[in-house]
Homo-oligomer: A and B are copies of this chain.
């Protein structure tokens, strides 16, 4: 489970865990039927409170991303990708929507957004290495 958590973030830990697992599903690192570590183990790995992990798993179950079978453990659900929009496109779409909302509130014309993003991406590339990053 490669989840890097940031305790300093305003996003609550359990939410970071939820987001992280959804992302792993979206990216294909976790697939239908894969077993998710037990709450106990996951808590130990991530060095967070068990309640926190339990809450995250609960949320993921409510979203249909995982399925718990009593006595057997927790598994990535059959339709995990579609469920909860956990596809790469779904998550990216949500992120873009957040940007659009902010732009609207700032009174920025939406048709200018793609160009603004393009410029920013270029800046990032220059700052962090080669152009293709």
Contacts and interface: CB of A to CB of B under 8 A. Distances in A.
B114 A118 contact: yes
A91 B104 CA distance: 12
Interface residues of A, number: 44
A110 B12 CA distance: 27
Contact of A96 (B62, B93, B99, B110): B99
Q: Is the interface of A mostly helix, strand, loop or mixed?
A: helix
A121 B117 contact: no
Q: Quick one: which of A26, A102, A114, A117 has the most chain B CB within 10 A?
A: A117
14 contacts: A27-B107, A91-B102, A91-B106, A92-B108, A93-B120, A96-B99, A99-B99, A100-B121, A109-B132, A110-B124, A110-B125, A114-B118, A114-B121, A117-B117
